């Protein structure tokens, strides 16, 4: 092997080593930024769903694709994988994510229930976010 070819291969390997690693350590990407399209009230970090339920839209404007990693409903956590993503349908809420657009549908709050909540653990690449949704009497 010629001396030139050896130096070229060595330099290529060194350059690939420098460029293949990003400057950001794991989990240190820019935080997801959400647009609350339907202007749900946000109280202390929780989006408040009206008693009558409804459909609410959100969009992550700094990442083009968002996935649901897990969700928690009334204190019980569920990890998702494979075909479960991006659609979730549970007892009283539904969720659909297409790319960076998220639609949440919530049933009306039953007369026998004072409040309930769910949270979504979301990821986009190597950044993570949690959105919390509460439905309770007398807020709206």
Residue 20's pLDDT is what?
A: 46
Residue 120's pLDDT is what?
A: 93
Give all domains of the chain, ordered by start, each with its CATH number.
24-136 (2.60.40.10)
**Distance in angstroms (rounded) separating the CA atoms of residues 54 and 30:** 31
Residue 107's pLDDT is what?
A: 94
- Taking a C-beta distance cutoff of 8 angstroms, is the pair 29, 126 a contact? yes
Residue 138's pLDDT is what?
A: 85
Mean pLDDT, consecutive 10-residue segments, the chain of 140 residues?
65 55 61 92 93 96 91 84 57 88 94 93 91 89
Cα torsion angle, 30, 76, 78, 120, sign: negative
SS3 letters across the chain: CCHHHHHHHHHHHHHHHHHCCCCCCCCCCCCCCEEECCCCEEECCEEEECCCCEEEEEEECCCCCCEEEEEEECCEEEECCHHHCCCEECCCEEEEEECCEEEEEECCCCCCCCEEEEEEEEEECCEEEEEEEEEECCCC
């Amino acid at each position: 092997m010629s001396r030139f070819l050896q130096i070229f291969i060595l330099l290529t390997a060194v350059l690939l080593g420098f460029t293949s690693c990003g400057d950001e350590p794991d989990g240190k990407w820019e935080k997801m930024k959400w647009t609350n399209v339907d202007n749900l009230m946000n109280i202390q970090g929780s989006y408040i769903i009206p008693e009558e339920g409804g459909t609410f839209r959100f969009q992550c404007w700094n990442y083009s694709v968002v996935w649901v990693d897990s969700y928690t409903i009334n204190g019980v956590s569920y990890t998702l994988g494979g075909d479960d993503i991006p659609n979730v349908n549970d007892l009283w809420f539904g969720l659909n994510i297409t790319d960076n657009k998220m639609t949440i549908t919530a049933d009306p709050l039953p007369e026998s229930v004072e409040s309930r909540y769910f949270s979504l653990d979301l990821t986009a690449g190597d950044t993570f976010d949690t959105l919390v949704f509460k439905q309770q009497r007398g807020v709206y």
